[in-house]
Amino acid sequence: MKAAVKCGEEFTQPMSFESDGYSIIEMPELNHEELASFNKMPRDRHSLQRHRTIRLTQYFGYCETNQWIFAPLPKRHYVQSLEYIKLSEAGGVPRYREQLQIDPSSLIARVMDNLPVDRAELFHVNVNQIRVTVNKTFKGVTVPEGPHRDGHEYSVIAVATRHNVCGGETQVIEPKTNHIVFRKTLAENEAILIDDERYIHFASNIEASHGEEGYRDIWVIEINRWKNRAYGPLHDLTSCKGATK
Ligand SMILES: [Fe+2]
């Protein structure tokens, strides 16, 4: 019999993003096609010691007459700066990603409507679609790099499905003291918005609730004003400096 995954006591809901630097929101419900799209994703070839399937599309976004417009940017490798991601398979490494097969505009719009962003600005948005599976062969490691910041202005984790899993608790951490300021096991259709310049974040591993297999499907949405975009040749050049591969 396996030991239950220990989860910390959950904190009371934050007051507001403006006062706390993080907040919890409800996401739009996913339709059948959107939910099923999680079943058709390729393995992350850069992280084969765990069972993670993934897609990514990067967007240009702006708001006009209160309508958000998100246009896919040309496909590029995904590059996270070595400055923020201290994991040799990820930090400063251009990683190959297949693009999303559904349009996540309604999800991004819900997030933007709940962030203190200036709607006159232009934006760069990454939408990562991720499934982490736990089974007989693979542990349900959700964040192998440990507590980290993503290197964006805002980071969002939204849970789409939790199938036969426990664990996967999201933690918001004060970087100077490593004090956990907030922790919550996000429910389906719940998202946490984080000021990525102020906090680091982490999520505990998942384990199967019954039997041996389960999975957790999430969206990770990363947002920057266009002038601070983490996209394009200049960003990739700066982010890969000092990387060993
Ligand atoms: Fe992250």
pLDDT tens-digit readout, 132-146: 999 999 999 999 889
CA of 97 to the centre of ligand 1 (A): 16
173-192: pLDDT as tens digits: 999 999 999 999 999 999 99
User: Which domains, from first to last, does the chain contain?
Assistant: 3-240 (2.60.120.620)
Q: Return the closest-CA partner of residue 60 out of 71, 51, 44.
A: 71
Q: Residue 190: which residues within 8 A CB-CB, separation 6 or more?
A: 24, 25, 26, 27, 158, 159
Q: Would you state the pLDDT for residue 14?
A: 74
In DSSP terms, which residues pair with 149 in a beta bridge? none
CA of 17 to the centre of ligand 1 (A): 18
Q: Compute the average pLDDT of residues 3-30.
A: 78
Is this model's pTM higher than 0.85 or not? yes
CA of 188 to the centre of ligand 1 (A): 18
CA of 33 to the centre of ligand 1 (A): 26
98-113: pLDDT as tens digits: 999 999 999 999 999 9
Does the pLDDT value for residue 88 go beyond 90?
A: no
Q: Compute the average pLDDT of residues 59-69.
A: 97
Please, what is the average pLDDT of the chain?
Answer: 91
CA of 171 to the centre of ligand 1 (A): 11
- What share of the chain in percent tops pLDDT 90? 79
